[in-house]
Structures are given as structure tokens and as C-alpha cells.
Amino acid sequence: MSAAAPRFPTPLILSAPAALLFAALILTPLVLTALLSFNEFEHATGRTHGFTLDHYLAVLTDSYYLEIFLRTFRVAALATAICVVIGVPEAYILSRMGNPWRSVFLLVVLAPLLVSVVVRAFGWSMLLGPEGPINAALVALGFGRMRLLYSEGTVIVALVHVMLPFMVIPVWTSLQKLDPAVEQAALSFGASRGTAILRVVAPQILPGILSGSLIVFGLSASAFAIPGLLGGRRLKMVATIVYDQYLSDLNWPMGAAVAVLLLAANLIVMLTYHRVVEGHYRRRLG
């Protein structure tokens, strides 16, 4: 019997389907997009195959693009912050509910995920439109009509609505792992409920808040449907610019360059955030 029997590479084989899917559906388009972004572009002839960095230079030096990038990250950051403010207490309250109600409200929290983002965006635009119920109520109360659509505020509100479940779920999960006696211990040592939550519960669910805000920020910064439908033609965000470059200007390389820059910027922001927050709790929670 040979001592060195050939080892069957089970782990590789088991992970192969997922790896193939990932390579085919994510890596390939990403590489193609990156390659595309270096192609030259002529308005008369369209895409040519030369190599150029012009598109990147154009985006990075043009204040028009810079403004859109800034707006995108401002909107995403605000949406994330609001999701933390609403989602964390929501998850905490959910975790404290007794059983029939907990299931009911968990379903309510997750229900928006069951409706298409486009449908929800149209819902918001009907609600906030010039003839919508909100404006009707404002008029009836004597405030006059207000332009609610196509503003940053509206986009943020709609994004929060879409993203909230992505905040609630990870926070809820980390709350589930908490030993309820730890909060009782804080109370028994004379802490008020608020102090107990702030000093004892919150630091322990920080990993959940961290992953929730990374998901929400990433999805918000690259969101397309909500800013596209509620921001309109005027309030552009990066994802809608990419769409415009590809389909209106037909400048695919420029669209690709913007898309690659969005990905890079998103990665930098998220990794930095992760570093800072995780560095804070790593030693303590292991």
C-alpha cells in the first residue's frame, strides 16, 4: 500500500460551482468593463481599440463629475446614518417582543423586500408628486403646494425605506447572540435602562451595526432605480450617470470609467470605515 495516497481535492470540488458562477457572472463583466474603460472613443465612429487614460482624467478633473460623486456619497452616508438611527432601536425592540408580535413585526420589517424597488419608487413618486396625497394635504392645510420630488431629501427617504431591512437583520442577529443576563447584570448594578443599553448592549452589537452599515452604504452608493426614478433628470447620481453615458451618449468607455471609479471609491470608503470601527472593538471582542 502506498503511503502517499493521492488526496482527493474535495474542498476544491465542492467550492467549484460557486467559484465558476462568481467568475462567469461577476469577474468577467468586471474585467471587461475595466478593459473597456481604457478604450478610445470618437463621437463619429464610436469605440476604437486604442489605449487611453482620457476618460479617467476627464472624470477626475471635471467638477461636474466630482459634484455627482460627492452627492452620491453624501446621500449614501446620510441614508446609512438614518438607517442606523432607525434600524438599531427597531431591531432592539423587535428582540424584546413576545412571540406572536415578534414574528408579525419581523415580517412587517422584511415585507418591503418582497416588492420590487421600481414599484416602490413609483409608489413614492405618486405619494410625493404634485397631485399626490401629501401635496393635497398640504394644500388643504393652507401651506400651498411644495416640490417634493427630484430632491436629495426624497432620494434619501426612499433609500432608507429600501435599505432598512439590511440594517435590521444583521443587528437583530447580533442581538440574538447576546446573553440576556448581561443586561440584567447591568441593571442589578444600578444602571438605568438607557445606560445599560448604551454602555453594555450597544458595544456588543457593534459588529452587527458595522456590517449593516456597510451593506446599506454599498447598496445606496450604487443604487440606480431610486435616484433614477425619484431624482429625475436633474438630480444625478453616479449610477444614473453611468446609465446615461452608456445609453444616451453611447460613450461606453466613459461609462465604464465612471463605473470603475465608483467601485474603487466605494471600496475605499467601506474598507476605511471597516478598519476604523473594527479596530475599535477587535481587541475587546476577539
Partner 1 sequence: MSFLELRDITKRYGTLNAVSDVTLSVEKGEFVSLLGPSGCGKTTTLQMIAGFVEATSGSIRLDGRDITHAKANTRGLGIVFQSYALFPHMTVFDNVSFGLEMQRVPKAERKDRVDEALGLVHLSPYAGRYPRELSGGQRQRVALARALVIRPPVLLLDEPLSNLDAKLREAMQFELRDIQRKVGTTTVMVTHDQAEAFSISDRVVVMEAGRITQIDQPYRIYEHPETEFISRFVGKTNLLPGTVQAINGPAASVSLAGIPVEINAGGLVSGETVTLCVRPEKLRLIAAGQGRLPGRVAERYFLGSQWLYHIDGPLGTLMAVTPNDGSAPLETGVPVGVDWNPSVVRVHRGRLAEAPDPTLEAH
Nearest to partner 1 of 37, 204 (CB atom): 204
CB neighbours of residue 206 within 10 Å? 17
Cα 229 to Cα 120: distance, rounded to the nearest angstrom: 10
Only segment of 71-79, 134-142, 195-203, 228-236 that touches partner 1 (CB under 8 A): 195-203
Q: Using an 8 Å Cβ cutoff, are 218 and 83 in contact?
A: no
Residue 192 sits in the site that holds partner 1 (CB under 8 A) = yes
Phi (first) and psi of residue 62, to 5 degrees: -85, 120
x-marked contacts with partner 1 along 152-191 as a string, rule CB under 8 A? ---------------------------x-xx-xxxxxxxx
Q: How far is the CB of 147 from partner 1 (least distance, A)?
A: 47
Q: How many CB atoms lie within 10 A of CB 13?
A: 9
C-beta of 56 vs 281, nearer to partner 1: 281
* Shortest reach from residue 195's CB to partner 1, in Å: 7
Q: Is 194 in the site for partner 1 (CB under 8 A)?
A: no
15 lies in the binding site for partner 1 (CB under 8 A): no
Give the nearer residue to partner 1 in terms of CB position, either 15 or 195. 195
Cβ atoms of 135 and 146 closer than 8 Å: yes
For the chain, the C-alpha Rg in angstroms (whole number) is: 24
CB of 166 closer than 8 Å to CB of 153: no
Task: Give least dist CB 95 to partner 1, A.
Answer: 17
Largest interatomic CA distance in the chain: 93
Q: Which of 48, 103, 176, 195 binds partner 1 (CB under 8 A)?
A: 195
CA dist 278 to 179, 206, 267, 285, Å? 21, 9, 16, 10
Residue of 225, 272, 254, 234 lying closest to 77 (CA atoms): 272
Nearest CB to partner 1, comparing residues 130 and 203: 203
Helices 152-176 and 206-221, axial angle in degrees (round to 10):
150
**With respect to partner 1, which residue has the nearer C-beta, 24 or 97?**
97
At closest approach, how far in Å is the CB of 174 from partner 1? 12
Number of residues that bind partner 1 (CB under 8 A): 24
7 or 284: CB nearest partner 1: 284
Site for partner 1 in 201-230 (CB under 8 A): 203-204
Q: How far is Cα 154 from Cα 222, in angstroms, rounded to an integer?
A: 17
Compute the least distance from the CB of residue 198 to partner 1, in Å: 12
Q: Where does this chain bind partner 1 (CB under 8 A)?
A: 179, 181-182, 184-193, 195-196, 199-200, 203-204, 281, 283-286
